[in-house]
């Protein structure tokens, strides 16, 4: 297994090099625009050329990329073209903000979805119909609408929670919890709706299988059949959906981050892309690739642990 993990990590690094190279090559034609964007309107093309040279963007593209890569390998991701801040530090800072929201959202998603999905699949009847209706509604109602309604009610009317902003957990855990409550609920609804439907569907499939009937005939309690056997087998696909959800939320939290003025990864990436902040875009790309590789690896490992038949190592 260790060899498998090492192999996956090495292929992840190769992937990171390829993706960052492609990103850099895609950005290269925009360098003139990026320099103009930094220098502003009302200046001549000579001034743009001078700044381009000053920023080192007039060198051959591959030389620039290799410079970036060799610095990145040594842990130096450069500084932002616009703010002058160290990219490694700021990417980590913004990623931390989003992760603190996304991880809480996913943990709650798992808790709520598994409970609802299992109940709906095992009990059927009214519980199932209500769960399905709730899941469909969750899919249909836009996150933004939920966020707006919650802000109005909880922040503006009742003044229980802040309407905007973010407090780091290290600074004040209680204030952190208050600051992420509405964003988490806004993200949670769609997330729960998706995963609940998934868990319900796979659980129904599992509960119809022969091994479940066999277990029941041997006198195993329904509770044990559902939780220890069927759920374990149904967890694989749900975990895969969850990993997609995790990756989607990293970028997808953008709207929620904007509406709540949260300095997260999504809005940071969005702003850097609009500005053409090459070092920041490269740093974000690298972090994102490594994160996705790590998550996929973790999901494969957990899947293998849950279901030996699914082991690919």
Which region, judged by CB under 8 A, interacts with another protein, from 47-55, 126-134, 187-195, 211-219?
47-55
* Closer by beta carbon to another protein, 90 or else 202: 90
Position 172 contacts another protein (CB under 8 A): no
Q: Which residues contact 123 (CB under 8 A, 6 or more apart)?
A: none
Position 164 contacts another protein (CB under 8 A): yes
Would you give the binding string for another protein spanning residues 100-139, x where CB under 8 A is met? ----------------------------------------
* CB neighbourhood size of 130 (10 A): 13
Position 24 contacts another protein (CB under 8 A): no
* Closer by beta carbon to another protein, 60 or else 84: 84
Q: Which residues contact 80 (CB under 8 A, 6 or more apart)?
A: 87, 90, 272, 277, 279, 280
* CB neighbourhood size of 295 (10 A): 16
Query: How far is 115 from 235, CA to CA, in rounded Å?
Result: 12
Position 71 contacts another protein (CB under 8 A): no
* Helix-, strand-, coil-residue percentages of the chain, each rounded to 5: 80, 0, 20
Query: How far is 133 from 171, CA to CA, in rounded Å?
Result: 40
Position 30 contacts another protein (CB under 8 A): yes
* Closer by beta carbon to another protein, 53 or else 107: 53
C-alpha dist (Å) from residue 251 to 25, 234, 277, 284: 22, 27, 17, 11
Query: How far is 74 from 42, CA to CA, in rounded Å?
Result: 39
* Closer by beta carbon to another protein, 102 or else 238: 102
Among 245, 268, 269, 285, binds another protein (CB under 8 A): 268
Position 75 contacts another protein (CB under 8 A): no
C-alpha dist (Å) from residue 130 to 123, 143, 254: 12, 21, 31
Among 275, 290, 296, 301, binds another protein (CB under 8 A): 275
Position 165 contacts another protein (CB under 8 A): yes
Position 170 contacts another protein (CB under 8 A): no
**Does residue 196 contact residue 175 with C-beta atoms inside 8 Å?**
no
Position 36 contacts another protein (CB under 8 A): yes
Q: Which of 233, 230, 250 is nearest to 294 (CA)?
A: 250
Size of the site for another protein (CB under 8 A): 51
* Closer by beta carbon to another protein, 53 or else 133: 53
* Closer by beta carbon to another protein, 89 or else 129: 89
Q: Which of 103, 234, 266, 110 is nearest to 169 (CA)?
A: 103
Among 17, 19, 79, 134, binds another protein (CB under 8 A): 79
* Closer by beta carbon to another protein, 147 or else 192: 147
Binding site for another protein (CB under 8 A): 30, 32-34, 36-45, 47-48, 50-51, 53-54, 79, 82-85, 90, 93-94, 148, 151-152, 155-157, 159, 162-166, 258-261, 263, 267-268, 271, 274-276
């Amino acid at each position: 297994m260790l060899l498998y993990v090492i192999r996956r990590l090495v292929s992840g690094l190769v992937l990171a090099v390829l993706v960052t190279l492609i990103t850099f090559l895609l950005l290269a034609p925009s360098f003139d625009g990026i320099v103009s964007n930094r220098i502003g309107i009302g200046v001549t093309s000579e001034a743009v050329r001078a700044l381009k040279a000053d920023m080192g963007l007039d060198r051959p593209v591959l030389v620039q990329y290799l410079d970036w890569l060799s610095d990145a390998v040594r842990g130096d991701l450069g500084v932002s073209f616009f703010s002058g801040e160290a990219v490694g530090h700021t990417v980590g800072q913004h990623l931390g903000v989003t992760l603190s929201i996304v991880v809480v959202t996913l943990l709650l998603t798992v808790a709520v979805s598994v409970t609802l999905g299992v109940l709906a699949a095992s009990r059927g009847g009214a519980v199932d119909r209500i769960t399905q209706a709730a899941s469909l509604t969750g899919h249909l109602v836009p996150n933004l609408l939920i966020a707006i309604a919650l802000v109005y009610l909880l922040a503006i009317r009742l003044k229980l929670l802040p309407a905007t902003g973010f407090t780091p957990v290290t600074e004040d855990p209680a204030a952190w919890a208050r600051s992420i409550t509405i964003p988490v609920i806004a993200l949670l609804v769609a997330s729960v709706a998706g995963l609940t439907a998934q868990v319900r569907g796979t659980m129904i499939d599992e509960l119809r299988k022969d091994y479940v009937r066999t277990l029941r005939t041997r006198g195993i309690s329904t509770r044990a059949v559902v939780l220890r056997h069927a759920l374990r087998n149904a967890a694989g696909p749900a975990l895969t959906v969850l990993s997609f959800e995790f990756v989607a939320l990293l970028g997808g939290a953008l709207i929620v981050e904007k509406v709540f003025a949260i300095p997260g990864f999504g809005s940071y990436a969005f702003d850097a892309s609009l500005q053409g902040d090459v070092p920041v875009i490269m740093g974000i790309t690298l972090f994102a690739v490594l994160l996705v590789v790590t998550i996929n690896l973790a999901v494969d490992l957990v899947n293998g642990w849950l279901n030996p038949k699914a082991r690919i190592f």
